[in-house]
Structure 1
């Protein structure tokens, strides 16, 4: 870790760096560019230079640089703004002999960059150093410190002289370096600490390099790390030197087994503080991280090829791996991952995937916020269903080292399941429809073991609840309940393929409210019609919620008529308040496992089927008639031929 060698790989996979030079008139922009490119101070400089290219071997990283000069004429402000928006880095110039040009950086140029939403590194360059008044010698740090405090986008400040050839190559080296090895993702300048995502990625790298899992990098492991990242071994004296530096500043950074994680992180913070960001970036990139400190796209399998009515599930291999991870991080052995244990489990991922919607609060937790094994696996099942690539990415982050494509499988098409009259899926997605105040949210809450609440909190966005349901014979199936707010049904059904991902549709109504029943049946017809029109028909169940209340008059007659007319089961009565669920979740699984049953038929759908049957029957009669005609014609020809022969 003592010798970072850049130039061996193209940092970040870049093919070039575009640097735009801007500043007030007369601050030395064009002279700076020409002197850097030609290595000679120009006698006559045109008002505006064409794009200037520095060859790839100009700097050690071997990435070519294109330098863009900008006009100082007010009428060209629009063009300058466009160039700034296209920049990878911006060099802002002021003249050391003109203090007003320095003031203009904070009053005009830097605010302009923010207004244009130019979020790239900024290098502030004081040109014409040779012309500065010797009686006004002030350190660059004193001059720039207040500005850098106000404008954190400033990466570096430097003074130079084109005439005297003082620090001219360094200007564009720092600009290129700020693009290829940016500070922002790694280090918080204000707190002078490594950023959380940087810490988490370095922790993962440390664990991957700690082959014997003893919590420290031995001399041999340190050397292997050095060879992997920098293609060169560390000499024994260098290893001793590295550990000595750490131990002097941070005693807990080294123990008798080697360099600890604390020491490893301290070293990288030290490199960054000393301006050696390329060292940390080289390490991150060797382990597959991009500039966002996430695994590069090429390390994650491309999107799985599947039709809209196919889903993605974890394989048994992935589930066994996750069981092992669960046991490893269940430190207190209570059969649940508490929040701190879950955070530790995902401490090598950029963030915990379960901390944000739609995964947050989607699984059952105990009184201490802990996830059971079933809850943990349910969360992964949901993530794999909704975003398989994200699921595989997180499996890599938490230590899966095998062939990542072996962790997921694409299920059979739902249409084929209907033909075979059986589904072999382990995870079923159920869309929950119903009018407002019908009891949809209460159904989802009860599925997650949450206590009943009389408080009404309307659901405004789609919400998920996922859990494992025990089936007879010890078989476990996972259900994903997706609550569709009443106001969101129209938007959902505007997509032709919206029902392709649905295994079962449940329609919840308040059994004590006739208007709730009517609206639920309207939704049932809408969904069934959409399925008939698109070919993505789904099994449907009606759930009569709030069974603890008196049913509205004629409820039985209405429900019997709808069930018979549409060919679906009678409503399943439940009371979340009393905890009486009438095996509704097992019934959902049963409907999903037999996808050819419980498919409602609308009046329009029946008419369409009758029409097709009529057409098919007509075609059959036409076909039979044509066949009879052909046979008769053939017989006549045989008869005529025989007659001619006999005569």
Structure 2
């Protein structure tokens, strides 16, 4: 299809009729327009319009006749580029015109890169030699080679046989196309169609028992076709399915396998409008993706120091989905179970297939994702791309408006003023020199074993998990490792630290050089946060505490913390599994955002300058008060003096 051809909902359809000269194109068009056959029709008819009520779908057709003469080729190409469907004709009494379909006309349509449905029509059926092969036999190879052919048929304008059907099927090919639904080569539903129908089944299976009961099936029927099924009809539907596929029906009703089989049967029998009606009632477009109005996400307008989080309603919905799919009850979703969860989305695989999400959450020994890892991944996606999270919830069947699934947090600046943060998702940016132990800390957060070998991180890396607090509550901690080489470029963005709730600086406690570099990074980040206005609580982490500590490092790190007004470094050893409640400390630092703010020389000088100004203003105010007070006393003295003299 050249350009954007989508016309949903369709208000009109352009049909272009093509074929060799003399095959009967114009006679066929004139017959549908006048309901009669005429001899001596013009070489090319003017555009013909069939009214809205001509066919049941209520969409008018504009039919364009064309010339096959070489001198009219440019005009023909122009008409084809405006077409919605092509009726390709040959004459039943002229075998050469049939051969020309595969030798010239169909390759020509492909050369023009027209992604259009094609209806192949044999005209002059009344003149056909009955000894020739049947329509099915002659057309099967053609339809196999050219998948764009929607259907093949024959008609007779002279005898008025199946002329109206030609344009009915042309209209149907546009409104109810086969291509997106069914693969003729494999004789099966296409994956995207399967995903859409599976989602519809899940939405209609209200009790989540894996089958549509009679009541649920009836409710589905009313929603899609505005009419209930009679009890005998429901029995008949289930019998048709069970006769062909035993697992299509169980004691609870029609299973998802049976539901899919039923639609494949409709399509095979030419009742594509049935499946398309169902898809469109549930919000799907011609590409079998949800329409924009269905996927429309809430307004996520927010400042750079605000974030988007899932509401409790969304978390409860996801917990139910997790439990439903965890069929073996082991508290994890195996890769196949996770794939099944996202099998209702139009694209293959989960929304977490990108490298950004790789190895970021807690899994078990065989790769199954735990509930903590699962919900943490959802919260991570919501933080990074709330629109994607919203769309994923819709495809999973989230009930109602997705605006109820999200909340925008308070600004970090306001949190600092109130000296309290209520965020459920905490972001910690972790800085440090090479080989300081940053990656080992991220591995520890998601329960991965310590690795002796050094494997440098390539670019930024994330790790996410739940951190339990006293009283049974928990927070989601997202740790982002900032590559040392990219820190300067990272901080060039004035908004870089806006989403950061805590910054942690790691150094090898046995190396003075490592501490020196960590201190430089701390100063660099602290100055940047002061200049940007997004002051960040900071922690210093003394990693590799299992190795012999350097006395100089201990003294120097204590001095750094004292000078900058920070707590003493937190010693940790990931090798020994001793994190010294590090992750809880990070969360607590985020919950009290006014504390642990480092003081730099720049900040101190600014603070001193501010204090001097305030003191100067104070002196001026005191002096002014004394002067005003003196004038007042003088006036009172004069008034009393005058009073006494009088």
TM category (shorter chain) comes to 0.7 to 0.9
Which whole-Å CA distance do the structure 1 matches of 2:75 and 2:555 have between them? Answer: 73
Is contact 1:423–1:594 with CA below 8 Å preserved after alignment? yes
C-alpha change, 1:387 and 1:36, in structure 2 (3 Å) is: farther
| Equivalent of 1:288 in 283, 299, 322 | 283
Three-state SS of the structure 2 residue aligned to 1:481 is: strand
C-alpha change, 1:240 and 1:329, in structure 2 (3 Å) is: closer
Which whole-Å CA distance do the structure 2 matches of 1:517 and 1:17 have between them? Answer: 72
Matched, 1:598 2:596: yes
Offset, 1:266: 1.1
C-alpha change, 1:330 and 1:124, in structure 2 (3 Å) is: closer
Is contact 1:15–1:64 with CA below 8 Å preserved after alignment? no
Name the counterpart of 2:3. Answer: none
CA-to-partner distance for each residue in 1:245-287, whole Å, 9 max, x for gaps? 2233223333455433332221111112222222112222323
Is contact 2:510–2:550 with CA below 8 Å preserved after alignment? yes
Which whole-Å CA distance do the structure 2 matches of 1:531 and 1:33 have between them? Answer: 77
Offset, 1:192: 2.1
Instruction: Map 1:553-564 to 2 at 5 A.
Output: 554-556=552-554, 559-560=557-558, 562-564=560-562
Offset, 1:91: 2.4
CA RMSD of aligned residues (A): 4.9
Is contact 2:308–2:382 with CA below 8 Å preserved after alignment? yes
Is contact 1:335–1:372 with CA below 8 Å preserved after alignment? yes
Which whole-Å CA distance do the structure 1 matches of 2:79 and 2:533 have between them? Answer: 49
Is contact 1:462–1:485 with CA below 8 Å preserved after alignment? yes
- So what's the TM-score if we normalise by structure 2? 0.78
Offset, 1:414: 1.2
| Equivalent of 1:364 in 359, 362, 365 | 362
Three-state SS of the structure 2 residue aligned to 1:280 is: helix
* Mean Cα deviation higher: 411-420 or 301-310: 301-310
Name the counterpart of 2:572. Answer: 574
CA-to-partner distance for each residue in 1:439-492, whole Å, 9 max, x for gaps? 333322221111122444444354332111122343322211223344555665
Is contact 2:526–2:535 with CA below 8 Å preserved after alignment? yes
Offset, 1:83: 7.7
Q: How many pairs align? A: 627
Name the counterpart of 1:311. Answer: 307
C-alpha change, 1:231 and 1:24, in structure 2 (3 Å) is: closer
Matched, 1:482 2:480: yes
Offset, 1:607: 4.7
Instruction: Map 1:486-505 to 2 at 5 A.
Output: 486=484, 489=487, 492-493=490-491, 495-505=493-503
Instruction: Map 1:221-236 to 2 at 5 A.
Output: 221-236=216-231
Is contact 2:86–2:117 with CA below 8 Å preserved after alignment? yes
* Mean Cα deviation higher: 604-613 or 530-539: 604-613
Name the counterpart of 1:109. Answer: 109
Which whole-Å CA distance do the structure 2 matches of 1:185 and 1:367 have between them? Answer: 40
Three-state SS of the structure 2 residue aligned to 1:284 is: helix
Name the counterpart of 2:371. Answer: 373
Offset, 1:107: 4.3
Is contact 1:127–1:162 with CA below 8 Å preserved after alignment? no
Name the counterpart of 2:256. Answer: 261
Offset, 1:434: 3.8
Which whole-Å CA distance do the structure 2 matches of 1:451 and 1:78 have between them? Answer: 70
Offset, 1:201: 3.7
Matched, 1:453 2:451: yes
Three-state SS of the structure 2 residue aligned to 1:198 is: helix
Which whole-Å CA distance do the structure 2 matches of 1:437 and 1:92 have between them? Answer: 69
Offset, 1:430: 1.7
Instruction: Map 1:481-560 to 2 at 5 A.
Output: 481-486=479-484, 489=487, 492-493=490-491, 495-511=493-509, 517=515, 519-549=517-547, 554-556=552-554, 559-560=557-558
CA-to-partner distance for each residue in 1:494-543, whole Å, 9 max, x for gaps? 54433322211223345556665555445444443443333222222233
Name the counterpart of 1:195. Answer: 190
Is contact 2:345–2:395 with CA below 8 Å preserved after alignment? yes
Offset, 1:595: 0.9
Offset, 1:198: 3.2
Offset, 1:197: 4.2
Three-state SS of the structure 2 residue aligned to 1:428 is: strand
* Mean Cα deviation higher: 66-75 or 322-331: 66-75
Larger Rg, first or second structure (1 or 2): 2
Matched, 1:411 2:409: yes
Which whole-Å CA distance do the structure 1 matches of 2:419 and 2:279 have between them? Answer: 51
Which whole-Å CA distance do the structure 1 matches of 2:353 and 2:262 have between them? Answer: 32
Which whole-Å CA distance do the structure 2 matches of 1:55 and 1:258 have between them? Answer: 43
Name the counterpart of 1:583. Answer: 581
Which whole-Å CA distance do the structure 2 matches of 1:327 and 1:366 have between them? Answer: 17
Instruction: Map 1:427-438 to 2 at 5 A.
Output: 427-438=425-436
CA-to-partner distance for each residue in 1:177-213, whole Å, 9 max, x for gaps? 3443343443333322223443344344334444565
Matched, 1:123 2:118: yes
Which whole-Å CA distance do the structure 1 matches of 2:485 and 2:133 have between them? Answer: 66
Is contact 1:162–1:168 with CA below 8 Å preserved after alignment? yes
Is contact 1:461–1:485 with CA below 8 Å preserved after alignment? yes
- So what's the TM-score if we normalise by structure 1? 0.78
Which whole-Å CA distance do the structure 2 matches of 1:560 and 1:511 have between them? Answer: 12
Offset, 1:589: 0.7
Which whole-Å CA distance do the structure 1 matches of 2:75 and 2:540 have between them? Answer: 62
Three-state SS of the structure 2 residue aligned to 1:229 is: helix
Is contact 1:14–1:63 with CA below 8 Å preserved after alignment? no
Three-state SS of the structure 2 residue aligned to 1:497 is: coil
CA-to-partner distance for each residue in 1:36-69, whole Å, 9 max, x for gaps? 99558861538xx78x876544443334566788
Return 5+ residue gaps in structure 2 as ranges: 1-5
C-alpha change, 1:154 and 1:472, in structure 2 (3 Å) is: same
CA-to-partner distance for each residue in 1:520-570, whole Å, 9 max, x for gaps? 445444443443333222222233434445667954455445444544444
C-alpha change, 1:299 and 1:24, in structure 2 (3 Å) is: closer
Offset, 1:432: 2.8
Which whole-Å CA distance do the structure 2 matches of 1:67 and 1:323 have between them? Answer: 54
CA-to-partner distance for each residue in 1:283-312, whole Å, 9 max, x for gaps? 223233444545544445423443332223
Is contact 2:247–2:255 with CA below 8 Å preserved after alignment? yes
Is contact 1:19–1:175 with CA below 8 Å preserved after alignment? no
Name the counterpart of 1:423. Answer: 421
C-alpha change, 1:237 and 1:324, in structure 2 (3 Å) is: closer
Three-state SS of the structure 1 residue aligned to 2:380 is: helix
Offset, 1:423: 0.9
